[in-house]
Structure 1
Amino acid sequence: MSDDRQHPMLQYIINNPEAFANNLAKTLENAGKALAAYLEPREKGEVKQDGADELTNVIKTLAQVGEYWASDPQRAVEAQSRLMTGYIDLWNSSLKRMMGESSLPAAQAEPRDKRFADPDWNDNQFFDFIKQLYLITSKWAEDLVLDASGLDEHTRHKAEFYVTQISNALSPSNFLMTNPELLRLTLESNGENLVKGMQHLVEDIKEGHGAVKIRMTDTSKFALGKNLGLTPGKVVAENDVCQVLQYEPTTTEVLKRPLLIVPPWINKFYILDLTPEKSFIKWAVDQGHTVFVISWVNPDERQAQKSFEHYMKEGILNSLDVIKRATRQQEVNAIGYCVGGTLLSVTLAYMAARGDERIKTATFFTTQVDFTYAGDLKVFVDEEQIAMLEKKMAEHGYLDGSKMASAFNMLRSNDLIWSYVVNNYLKGKDPFPFDLLYWNSDSTRMPAANHSFYLRNCYLENNLAKGRMEMDGERLDLSKVKVPIYNLATREDHIAPPRSVFLGSGCFGGPVDYVLSGSGHIAGVVNPPSRNKYQFWTGGKPEGQLEDWLKKAEEHPGSWWPHWDAWIRSQDATLAKARKPGAYRMKILGDAPGSYVTMKA
């Protein structure tokens, strides 16, 4: 047996005190540079001091929870007693363990919690004590919110979300002296990890122009048109809202109906055209679809007044005109992803009101039309917060892409924030090159008018589902949308929860096939058959409760892509000769993936 196994505390002793002292000095020097990088844009007036309004909102929300418990002395005593009971149980079990007796832990981490995967979180009594102390305290804080009766549902939802964010931030896994893996690494390397980590922090603050733009991947390993977005195609139309891309056919015959893909503008379309083996666009082309994709502009102040109506008319409706000129076909299959699907559903209701029947089938990827169960993003939506956001957007005419990226990352803060803080700044490691995370970091801005309409009409007032949304003088009624719909949800989705997508299925007036894929908002969609990952469920009509539907649903291994392709062909399998971009004297404006998608926020 090695000395380290005989004396486990030896791994927590400095190997070379002189080298450690030198590296500590370098770390402090880099910390000064990080502070300077943070202050410089603020001193120049390039960055406004903000965050006070958000902090005020958090404090007000949590204060309402505190008022509930403090308003009744008996309740307050009960709350304190619950916490002290947990601490006493921990103290007693720790004493037993010190005396060599067997004892059950007072609190245990979830088996899937990666933060406490290191063996010393259990084997070393000091770190085990710290971990259990944290778990007991965080669980107690969460229960305070859940048990605070009398709070309205929105306030409770916000309080629960904020407590989770604070709890995640204060985890002992995020701090050098309370994380055994970090402490060992620091002592073994004589602090070199901290030197490199602080260098990363300086670089990330400079990259974020005074804010910490946490790197999730090695961005130098990816570039659009070189190893991402490689499916051959052409830009065949362009306006100040979007470019329209048409992809080169790879089959001699294609389905007669072209396929229009409406991606979200909250992110860039190439999530559906990552590497060739992951590309839904390439796969659809190879199956014989004539694929057109809308590539939304990365807006600035010039698009400030572009609303949902502009995106509908200059985006989807204009693209239908482009497709007719490019293929001489009027009938189209359409796909909408996330908010692109919400816009597509709005467009379908508008077209139904106008008697426009060009879209013959609609496919939705993780799309919400009824926002009753819209998940944790509803935390950010109430009159006070929207008014605050509109005031900020009015300054430049758009919402900065980093704001939306931060909101999405907070939905899974342990995975998408704190794991990278630990890896990049405390371990001093470079993040692993990963195409999906490169895309995730490639944020986009939001036009002020569009984003305000979306938040108010969908998240805040749920007007589309209630039949109260108006567009260009038309009151929109989804029940008048009679086209067949393939409605894909993903089981672990934090953005468009499967329950929300399921509920939205009932809004439409035609046949709806609800399909549930394994994994989440991105991986559940970008799941090519060649990888044979996850699974999907199909079943009867999406009626009643999702849980009841699932009990009767049939599980299928692998990707849902072939199932969708078969569904499309079941609607109309008529074939036609393949069409190349530029046919019928269509002007070619450039190569795919186009110029709009390369614009940085």
Structure 2
Amino acid sequence: MPAATPKPAATKAETASAAAARPAAAPVPASAAARAPTHSHETLDRAVRAMSARMTRGVSPHAAASAWADWAMHLARAPGRQLELAERAQLNFWKAATDAMGMSPGGAPAFTPAADDHRFDHPAWDKPPFRMWKTGFLAMQDWWDCATADMRGARPHSTDRVHFMARQMLDMAAPSNVPPLNPEIVERTVQSGGRNLAEGARNFVDDAVRQLVDGGPEPSDSYEVGRNLACTPGEVVYRNDLFELIQYAPQTDKVEAEPVLIVPAWIMKYYILDLSPHNSLIKYLVGQGFTVFAISWCNPTAAQRDLSLDDYRRRGVMQAIDAVTTIVPDQKVHACGYCLGGTILSIAAATMARDGDDRLASITLLAAQTDFTEAGELMLFVDESQIAYLEDMMWDQGYLSQDQMSGAFRALRANDLVWSRAIRRYFLGVEEQEFDISVWVDDATRMPYRMHSQYLRGLFLENRLSAGRFAVDGRVIALKDITAPFFVLGTEKDHIAPWRSVYKTTLFTDTDLTFVLTKGGHNGGILSEPGHRGRHFRIGHRTPEAHYLDPDTWAERHAPQEGSWWVEWRDWLARQSSGKTAPPAMGAPARGYPTVCAAPGTYVLQT
């Protein structure tokens, strides 16, 4: 690991904080599940659970079984609900039967797939006999949706989890996954004389061999980090064992006086924000006259198992702010956090506000959550049993691996990311078209054991940050202490950070805030460069004295606007800035921040 550059002098806020006479912080007790085992019996238990967790890819069988038991026992005590389901089964059977015989009223299909379900797009699905299989499947899906709806007395988490698992089983058994029942596969096989099946078999063998040898995705022939991905010119100006700090070279004669610091999520590589030159948010900002810095997190190994959530704040975000304010002295910083990076930035900003550190000119949160009560379908994987199961696996390995983590995200969209992909690749013989974002998705990182356990428990499970129970250095922090203006962005189809959850930042802050809701998903909504066809966004401004608006009312009162939210953010950042000045030098060797190497650095290449 490269040696760290010399640490700069302490900031004014740190000096003042050290001088203040305050009591020593009380230690925060670790949870019983997260602390290291103290007895050989406990070690044996955790080792056995870790072995089991690897076989189930981190999914707790007890959590699944308890959800089914809770749902089934409450259904068994609800004769009215049972009667309703029996009536629905009978109705769906007759609707499917009349549809199969061509006797549906008006000729309309008895059941239609959801708007985002493209399994039955082929026109032959509306012709016999394929229409009968499609309609029967959709009728069964409709019944299960009803059966797993909320039930009085049952835990909502249980019914939601049962609904999710039932949908997973239905997706696996869909007629689109059975070659003789899928008209698209039948048609392609006849047209190609079976070549599609031979090519699909070859793809299957290649993928199976790669899985057996635990190999990652094949290197891309079209995209390469540093060549046409993450290729905005710059220099690494600081490096420690946790991150590299990249300063991007100016592209204009004058720049805004206040620099921009980007804090990406450590769950993936930073260059989603510096993808291809045409859709790089970093390149766009630099070209618009901003001095931009970005954190590039390391890909932790088992040796870094004890990295904590506070390490990411203290030795990550705060060290980066120290470096930026040293390289660009006497200026505040526009801090921008994406996804988990926005969450740790919020924690850092609230801590700075509590301690009187006013070095932030503004705070931008991109698809980042500060409250986790409505964190979407990811909450299906969060309860005590599930987290303990994951902790034991990470305790054994030292981290959560890329494939174990990405499996949960694929499960959320198994229809698109698992089964439809398998049909295209193994039965249609279609090679996946390579895109810059697909290369980035495959370039995942690991999550250190201690940090990920603290994140799952303190934020996802216990929601400490917005509940006023999140402590830093033994003292609770509050988002309401932050006085810097906010720019908060949510995306319409985000299944990782649902926009209504992101919007809750407006509930827990009192300062000036601009909220933007843009078209797209968690990643695609961020890649919304000017000129991108079909893009729109909503934007609203809340002043500190304004009353709270619930998210649905907010959406009704703010009409969509065509175009890119990037332009709005650029203009907002300019309004929060103090004016133009000459670009700063690259790094500050005399103050402990020499240039280390050219961007994108070395950590982004770690596998």
Q: TM class, shorter-chain normalised?
A: 0.7 to 0.9
For residues 384 and 127 of structure 1, do their structure 2 counterparts lie closer, same or farther at Cα, with a shift above 3 Å needed?
A: same
For residues 506 and 103 of structure 1, do their structure 2 counterparts lie closer, same or farther at Cα, with a shift above 3 Å needed?
A: closer
The one-letter code of the counterpart of 2:60 is E
Deviations 1:347-379 (A, max 9, x none): 011111211111121011011101121111111
The one-letter code of the counterpart of 2:549 is G
For residues 306 and 64 of structure 1, do their structure 2 counterparts lie closer, same or farther at Cα, with a shift above 3 Å needed?
A: same
Equivalences for 1:449-598 in 2 at 5 Å? 449-541=450-542, 543-585=548-590, 586-598=593-605
For residues 487 and 326 of structure 1, do their structure 2 counterparts lie closer, same or farther at Cα, with a shift above 3 Å needed?
A: same
Counterpart among 112, 116, 119 of residue 120 in structure 2: 116
**Do 1:96 and 1:102's aligned partners in 2 also have CA atoms closer than 8 Å?**
no
- 1:317 maps to 318
**Do 1:325 and 1:584's aligned partners in 2 also have CA atoms closer than 8 Å?**
no
Output the CA distance in 2 between the equivalents of 1:65 and 1:469: 33
Output the CA distance in 2 between the equivalents of 1:110 and 1:466: 36
Output the CA distance in 1 between the equivalents of 2:317 and 2:66: 42
**Do 1:249 and 1:285's aligned partners in 2 also have CA atoms closer than 8 Å?**
yes
* 1:87 CA drift (Å): 1.5
Out of 180-189 and 303-312, give the one that drifted further: 180-189
Query: SS at the partner of 2:531?
Result: helix
Output the CA distance in 2 between the equivalents of 1:580 and 1:79: 70
Percent identity between the two aligned chains: 35
**Do 2:229 and 2:276's aligned partners in 1 also have CA atoms closer than 8 Å?**
yes
Equivalences for 1:296-307 in 2 at 5 Å? 296-307=297-308
Query: SS at the partner of 2:504?
Result: helix
* 1:251 CA drift (Å): 0.7
Deviations 1:302-325 (A, max 9, x none): 221111110011111111121133
The one-letter code of the counterpart of 2:495 is H
Verify: 1:85 aligned to 2:91, yes or no. yes
Verify: 1:65 aligned to 2:107, yes or no. no
- 1:171 maps to 174
How many residues align structurally? 551
- 2:4 maps to none
Counterpart among 121, 145, 149 of residue 146 in structure 1: 149
Query: SS at the partner of 1:364?
Result: strand
Deviations 1:125-144 (A, max 9, x none): 11000000000001101110
Query: SS at the partner of 2:363?
Result: strand
The one-letter code of the counterpart of 1:363 is T
Output the CA distance in 1 between the equivalents of 2:224 and 2:143: 46
- 1:23 maps to none
The one-letter code of the counterpart of 1:121 is W
Out of 339-348 and 82-91, give the one that drifted further: 82-91
Verify: 1:369 aligned to 2:370, yes or no. yes
- Structure 2 residue runs of 5 or longer lacking an equivalent are 1-50
**Do 2:325 and 2:333's aligned partners in 1 also have CA atoms closer than 8 Å?**
no
Out of 355-364 and 408-417, give the one that drifted further: 408-417
The one-letter code of the counterpart of 1:563 is E
For residues 397 and 556 of structure 1, do their structure 2 counterparts lie closer, same or farther at Cα, with a shift above 3 Å needed?
A: same
For residues 489 and 96 of structure 1, do their structure 2 counterparts lie closer, same or farther at Cα, with a shift above 3 Å needed?
A: closer
Deviations 1:546-590 (A, max 9, x none): 111122214321101111111112122322211242455442211
Output the CA distance in 1 between the equivalents of 2:116 and 2:301: 42
Output the CA distance in 1 between the equivalents of 2:597 and 2:69: 56
Deviations 1:375-407 (A, max 9, x none): 111111001100000000001211011122121
Output the CA distance in 1 between the equivalents of 2:553 and 2:398: 45
* 1:485 CA drift (Å): 0.6
* 1:433 CA drift (Å): 1.3
**Do 1:249 and 1:580's aligned partners in 2 also have CA atoms closer than 8 Å?**
no
The one-letter code of the counterpart of 1:68 is H
Equivalences for 1:269-418 in 2 at 5 Å? 269-418=270-419
For residues 130 and 254 of structure 1, do their structure 2 counterparts lie closer, same or farther at Cα, with a shift above 3 Å needed?
A: same
* 1:54 CA drift (Å): 3.2
**Do 1:331 and 1:359's aligned partners in 2 also have CA atoms closer than 8 Å?**
yes
For residues 76 and 427 of structure 1, do their structure 2 counterparts lie closer, same or farther at Cα, with a shift above 3 Å needed?
A: same
Out of 487-496 and 185-194, give the one that drifted further: 185-194
The one-letter code of the counterpart of 1:109 is P
Counterpart among 206, 209, 222 of residue 209 in structure 2: 206
* 1:535 CA drift (Å): 1.1
**Do 1:205 and 1:211's aligned partners in 2 also have CA atoms closer than 8 Å?**
no
TM-score, normalised via structure 2 length: 0.86
For residues 403 and 190 of structure 1, do their structure 2 counterparts lie closer, same or farther at Cα, with a shift above 3 Å needed?
A: same
* 1:51 CA drift (Å): 4.8
The one-letter code of the counterpart of 1:455 is L
For residues 230 and 317 of structure 1, do their structure 2 counterparts lie closer, same or farther at Cα, with a shift above 3 Å needed?
A: same
The one-letter code of the counterpart of 2:401 is D
Query: SS at the partner of 2:101?
Result: helix
- Structure 1 residue runs of 5 or longer lacking an equivalent are 1-44
The one-letter code of the counterpart of 1:105 is P
The one-letter code of the counterpart of 1:143 is C
* 1:77 CA drift (Å): 4.8
Deviations 1:184-237 (A, max 9, x none): 212333332222212212222333346797x7x983321101211110011111
For residues 429 and 353 of structure 1, do their structure 2 counterparts lie closer, same or farther at Cα, with a shift above 3 Å needed?
A: same
Counterpart among 101, 106, 109 of residue 105 in structure 1: 109
Counterpart among 131, 134, 138 of residue 134 in structure 2: 131
Equivalences for 1:165-244 in 2 at 5 Å? 165-209=168-212, 219-244=220-245
Query: SS at the partner of 1:488?
Result: strand
Output the CA distance in 2 between the equivalents of 1:517 and 1:361: 20
Out of 281-290 and 168-177, give the one that drifted further: 168-177
* 1:65 CA drift (Å): 2.2
Output the CA distance in 1 between the equivalents of 2:54 and 2:437: 31
Output the CA distance in 2 between the equivalents of 1:498 and 1:339: 14
For residues 532 and 187 of structure 1, do their structure 2 counterparts lie closer, same or farther at Cα, with a shift above 3 Å needed?
A: closer
- 1:42 maps to none
TM-score, normalised via structure 1 length: 0.87
The one-letter code of the counterpart of 1:80 is A
Deviations 1:325-364 (A, max 9, x none): 3222441111000110000000011111211111121011
For residues 329 and 154 of structure 1, do their structure 2 counterparts lie closer, same or farther at Cα, with a shift above 3 Å needed?
A: same
**Do 2:266 and 2:445's aligned partners in 1 also have CA atoms closer than 8 Å?**
yes
For residues 272 and 493 of structure 1, do their structure 2 counterparts lie closer, same or farther at Cα, with a shift above 3 Å needed?
A: same
Output the CA distance in 2 between the equivalents of 1:219 and 1:65: 46
* 1:114 CA drift (Å): 1.2
Output the CA distance in 2 between the equivalents of 1:331 and 1:111: 46
Output the CA distance in 1 between the equivalents of 2:534 and 2:253: 30
Deviations 1:7-50 (A, max 9, x none): xxxxxxxxxxxxxxxxxxxxxxxxxxxxxxxxxxxxxx9x9534
For residues 50 and 154 of structure 1, do their structure 2 counterparts lie closer, same or farther at Cα, with a shift above 3 Å needed?
A: closer
**Do 1:484 and 1:510's aligned partners in 2 also have CA atoms closer than 8 Å?**
yes
Output the CA distance in 2 between the equivalents of 1:494 and 1:338: 12
For residues 211 and 280 of structure 1, do their structure 2 counterparts lie closer, same or farther at Cα, with a shift above 3 Å needed?
A: same
Query: SS at the partner of 1:514?
Result: strand
Out of 387-396 and 151-160, give the one that drifted further: 151-160
* 1:532 CA drift (Å): 4.8
For residues 101 and 165 of structure 1, do their structure 2 counterparts lie closer, same or farther at Cα, with a shift above 3 Å needed?
A: closer
* 1:52 CA drift (Å): 8.7
For residues 195 and 139 of structure 1, do their structure 2 counterparts lie closer, same or farther at Cα, with a shift above 3 Å needed?
A: same
The one-letter code of the counterpart of 1:272 is L
Output the CA distance in 2 between the equivalents of 1:580 and 1:174: 58
The one-letter code of the counterpart of 1:155 is S
**Do 1:218 and 1:433's aligned partners in 2 also have CA atoms closer than 8 Å?**
no
Structure that is richer in helix per residue:
1
CA RMSD for the aligned pairs?
2.3
Output the CA distance in 2 between the equivalents of 1:67 and 1:188: 51
